[in-house]
Amino acid sequence: MASSVDGYDLLLAMRKATRRSHNIANALILSKLVVVLTNQRLYAHALSSFYPVYRKLEELLQQHKGAKGLSKLVNVTSKIPSRRQAMEKVGSVPAAVTQLLGVQAGLSSP
């Protein structure tokens, strides 16, 4: 493993530990992709599964934008539309997800 530079050892260890499960998950996702792409409702539902991830990532990026190494990433990502807002705008976030997270589709979260 590489020397410990800004948690690089942890990154490599996490990547190695999760490689098998990620490969299995990727294979399952790809096998379902053909079916999902044939139905708009299924496609919207699939996209909505990423909503909590994007919401939290975008929240944390803004919260820690001054942290070493994140300023460049925040600068780049601030120039593209928010994935969370885009999903809320087009209504691809099912009511159950928005209700669970306390967000109304089409509105910015607090």
Let me know: does 29 contact 36? Beta carbons within 8 Å: no
Cα 62 from Cα 43, distance rounded (Å)? 29
**pLDDT tens by residue, 5-40:** 566 787 788 889 999 998 998 888 888 888 878 877
**pLDDT tens by residue, 35-84:** 878 877 777 777 777 878 888 888 888 888 888 777 788 888 778 777 77
Residue among 97, 81, 82 at smallest CA distance from 48: 97
Let me know: does 2 contact 8? Beta carbons within 8 Å: yes
